[in-house]
Chain A
Amino acid sequence: MTTEVSRSVGELLYLDPDSLQKNPNNPRRYFNEGRLDLLRTSIQEVGILVPLIAYEDPQEAGTYVLMDGERRWICALDLALDQVPANVIGQPEPLDNLLRMFNIHNVREEWPLISIALSLREVMNLSEETRESRLAELTGLTRSTVRRARRLLSLPEAELELIQNEAHLDRTAQVHREDLYLEIEAATSVIQNQLPELGKEYPREQVIRQFAKKREVGSLTAVTDFRSVGKIVKAVDDELVTREDVLTSTRKLIEDPYLSPVTVFNEIAAGAYEQQAMGRKIELLVESLDSLDFERPFSQVLLDAMRDLNARLSRILEGIGS
Chain B
Amino acid sequence: MSRAFEDPAKTEMRARTEIAIDAAGFEPVENLKAVPLPEGSAIRGGIKGDLQSLDSEGLRHCYYLRPSGNGVVPQWIASLATAAQELEDCVVYVVVDEPSVEMTASCKAAGAGLVLLTEDSTFEWLVDPSDWTPNIDREAFLAGVREVRRVLESKLDINVSAIDANYARTQQLTMGFTSEKRDGYIADLEAARVMWIEWGDEMSAALDRVAAQEDPAELAVVATRIESGPILEEDDTEDGN
Contact = CB atoms under 8 A, between A and B. Distances in A.
A28 B153 CA distance: 28
A35 B43 CA distance: 20
B99 interface: no
A168 B167 contact: no
Contacts of A81: 44-46
Contact of A168 (B8, B34, B194): B8
Interface stretch (B104-112, B200-208, B214-222): B200-208
A33 interface: yes
A82 interface: yes
B193 A107 contact: yes
B164 interface: yes
Interface residues of B, number: 50
A43 B46 CA distance: 12
Interface in B126-176: 146, 149-150, 153, 163-164, 167-168, 170-171
Contacts of B194: 110
A37 B168 contact: no
Interface residues of A, number: 41
A103 B168 contact: yes
Contact of A44 (B5, B44, B183, B190): B44
B201 to A, nearest CB: 6
Interface stretch (B19-27, B74-82, B114-122, B233-241): B74-82
A53 to B, nearest CB: 14
Contacts of B45: 43-44, 76, 79-81
A33 B76 contact: no
A141 B170 CA distance: 10
Contacts of A70: 5
Given A35-B201, A38-B201, A38-B204, A107 B167 contact: yes
Contacts of B182: 136, 142-143
B34 A80 contact: yes
Interface of B: 3-8, 10, 34-35, 42-48, 66-69, 71, 74-76, 79-80, 146, 149-150, 153, 163-164, 167-168, 170-171, 179, 182-183, 186-187, 189-190, 193-194, 200-201, 204-205, 208
Interface of A: 22, 28-35, 37-38, 40-47, 70, 74, 76-82, 103, 107-108, 110, 133, 136-137, 140-144, 168
30 contacts: A22-B4, A28-B4, A34-B74, A34-B201, A37-B75, A37-B76, A37-B205, A38-B201, A38-B204, A41-B74, A41-B79, A43-B45, A45-B42, A45-B43, A45-B44, A46-B153, A70-B5, A74-B5, A79-B44, A80-B47, A82-B34, A103-B168, A107-B167, A107-B186, A107-B189, A133-B179, A140-B167, A140-B170, A142-B183, A168-B8
